Amino acid sequence: MSEIQQEWQYYRVSQGVLAHRGNVLLVANDYGYPELLWSLPGGRLEPGEQHKEALQREFLEETGLQVTVGELLYAVDSRSEIAHKQFVTLVFEVHLLAPEVEPELIAEVNGPVKEVRFVPFAQAPEYIPRPSMGEGLLNYLRYGKEMSRYFIYPEYLTTEWQPLRWYPSTPERPAVP
C-alpha cells in the first residue's frame, strides 16, 4: 500500500517592526497550541495584494494602529517537512502615522490575535520561541540594518535554538531606535 503524499501549502507573509521608545510591538496569536504564539504584527497576503498594502491592513486589523511602511529589513524563508507548509515572510520597518501621540493598542476582536504589547528590546527573546520567527528580529534589534537580510529555516517547527542575547547598548553598538 502506498503512502498518501500530503500536498504542500505556500504562504506569502508581510510583517512589520514597530520600534517605539526602546520597545518593539508584538502580538500574541492563538493558533490552537497550548500557549499563545508571539510574533510581529502582520499576516498573509490576500490574492492580488502586495506586501506593503497587506502590512498596513494587517496592522490596523491586529493592533488598531495606522502605520506607514518603510524599507524592507529582512526576509525569512521557512518551511516545515512535518506540516508541509512554506512561508516566505518579508519584514519591513513601520512607523506610526502620528508618532507624537501615544499609541492606543487594540487587539483583534474576531481573529487569532489575543494580546498586543510593546516589549522592551532586551525582553524580546523571551517572547519568541522559534528561530524562524525571532532570529531576524533579534538580529535587527541588536545590529540594526548592518545585519544579514535573509534567513532560511528548513524546519520551522523546531524550538532547538538559543535566543540571541546581548548586553545593554553601548556608544559603539547602540540599540536600534
Of 90 and 126, the one with more pLDDT: 90
Residue 84 placed within a domain: yes
Whole-prediction pTM value? 0.85
Report residue 172's pLDDT band, with 50, 70 and 90 as the boundaries. low
Question: Is the separation of the CB atoms in 56 and 69 below 8 Å?
Answer: yes
Residue 53 placed within a domain: yes
Residue 177 pLDDT: 47
Considering only CA atoms, which of 153, 125, 159, 130 is closest in space to residue 141? 125
Residue 172 placed within a domain: no
Residue 60, pLDDT > 90, answer yes
Residue 80 placed within a domain: yes
State the Cα–Cα distance between residues 142 and 158, nearest whole angstrom. 23
Residue 92 placed within a domain: yes
Residue 149 placed within a domain: yes
Residue 154 pLDDT: 81
The b-or-e profile of 41-63 (16+ CB within 10 A means b, else e) is bbbebeeeeebbebbbbbbebbb
The pLDDT tens digits for 14-28 are 999 999 988 999 999
Residue 2 placed within a domain: no
What phi, psi does 132 have (nearest 5°)?
-65, -20
Q: How many domains does the chain have?
A: 1
Residue 1 placed within a domain: no
Q: With DSSP H G I counted as helix, E B as strand and the rest as coil, what are the percentages for the chain, rounded to 5?
A: 20, 35, 45
Considering only CA atoms, which of 103, 94, 1, 101 is closest in space to residue 40? 94
* pLDDT, averaged across the chain: 84
The pLDDT tens digits for 99-128 are 878 888 887 666 888 999 999 988 888 898
Report residue 88's pLDDT band, with 50, 70 and 90 as the boundaries. very high
- CATH classification of the domain holding 40: 3.90.79.10
Considering only CA atoms, which of 156, 148, 129 is closest in space to residue 26? 129
Could you tell me the residue range of the domain that residue 36 belongs to?
9-153
Say which range, 20-24, 84-88, 155-159, has the weakest mean pLDDT: 155-159
State the Cα–Cα distance between residues 154 and 135, nearest whole angstrom. 14
Residue range 152-169: mean pLDDT, rounded = 61
Helix, strand or coil, per DSSP, at residue 24: strand
